[in-house]
Chain A
């Protein structure tokens, strides 16, 4: 088995957007939407002591993905290699997964009305090619590999050089997109683009908190009622009609 991950080296990235355009071209993402986004953090400090960093964002193929939990039809599921996939033929576009993602990594394609997101270019991986963003990066700042392969770049960057995950004290879903570079840089990214708590659309909240228990209780009660009736019927020998 594998655990695929990506590392972006923030020292090298210059926010040139080659990755975003390559990804949009590779996956026909409609204009205005994105599987991956590159944004600069707002400039902090007072002139001339300023700092800024760059946030290269995409689906993190998390260890504990809240989106998988939230998808009613099972369109979103996690493969053995860690990649969280979206089976378009099962997607009903309800948007529960969008609300659940702490990194807002998903979008709904306005033409197909289905959810789309980065999947580490899984069909390219199957042909032995690397993800489109990684191979086009002008700064060679993106690394892709298997965290379970001790020889891989990503393994070394994560375990030997301390590449960081974007997690907070409350949101620890185990994202597998890491960021190398100075702590100050990743701190800036976390401050400007913190992961948010997973949300469920009001409908989903209503279901999981109130309605599902209600429905199950009602069905259970009805069934029990029937059981009691059946029991009584046996006990009292309810008259067969012909009598």
Chain B
């Protein structure tokens, strides 16, 4: 876009505009987030693999018996399986604690919550339209979204709520804390929380890995960036913010011909923010 004005609504682009946007990369995810994401994915993969095999009795089982036998075989003894599950779980908690201690201001600031988790009117409408589109009931255009769309926000919210529950109940079970009533409930809540996340994961993994429109999103979890066209099309409101910051930055540098100065960096996503850095 050549004009100074940043559009309020996403307008159709010319082929050239689209092409140039396609070539430009915009930073979406900080390396710390990327690492945490894949760490989480690997941990959840192995924890689900072992967890589903650990719950073996008829009253509690969710996985089929043949699956449990296979995993039993892999680990040799069920005790090994449990030890692995607990050890990995504790490691997972440990890493999260580090992130929490060092980065809670960054990851849970009011602004982050407002932009990345809280739902606004566009989000609610998006949810309705998206569902109808998935079911093939409409071809209506989706309302503009911020850095994460409503579905992603819901997923994040659910995961933020469930993960502490999984962690706490896991620790209660692993260390047999507070007596049998508490441990008994911990068992059940652990399974339910995990179940909820699995439901979300089914969508999340599909969207990330299978759904072709979101391919740039998948790669952004590796490179940390998305192309600008994708941002424009799928996360318009975020794109406007980036654009505004870009323009501001350009203006500042245009004004300051000679004097070098510490300036705010382009991009305003939390991923780019140093912990504690104002701005």
Contact = CB atoms under 8 A, between A and B. Distances in A.
Do A and B have CB atoms closer than 8 angstroms in the complex?
A: yes
Interface of B: 22, 54-60, 62, 78-79, 82-83, 134-136, 173-174, 176, 180-181, 183-188, 191-192, 195-196, 198-200, 202-203, 206, 210-216, 229-230, 233
Contacts of B180: 93-95, 98, 108, 201
A6 interface: no
B188 A207 contact: yes
A140 B139 CA distance: 85
A169 B184 CA distance: 30
A225 B200 CA distance: 12
Interface stretch (A84-92, A119-127, A154-162, A175-183): A84-92
Contacts, number: 145
Given A74-B54, A92-B176, A204 B188 contact: yes
B82 A222 contact: no
A92 B202 contact: no
A218 B59 CA distance: 19
Interface residues of A, number: 49
A57 B60 CA distance: 29
Contact of B62 (A94, A212, A241): A212
A70 interface: yes
Given A98-B180, A215-B62, A241-B215, A229 B206 contact: yes
Contacts of B196: 215, 218
A93 B176 contact: yes
A211 interface: yes
B147 to A, nearest CB: 17
B206 A230 contact: yes
B195 A219 contact: yes
Given A92-B174, A203-B185, A240 B198 contact: no
A95 B184 CA distance: 7
16 contacts: A69-B57, A69-B58, A74-B57, A94-B173, A94-B186, A95-B180, A201-B181, A201-B184, A207-B191, A211-B188, A218-B196, A229-B206, A230-B206, A230-B210, A238-B213, A242-B22
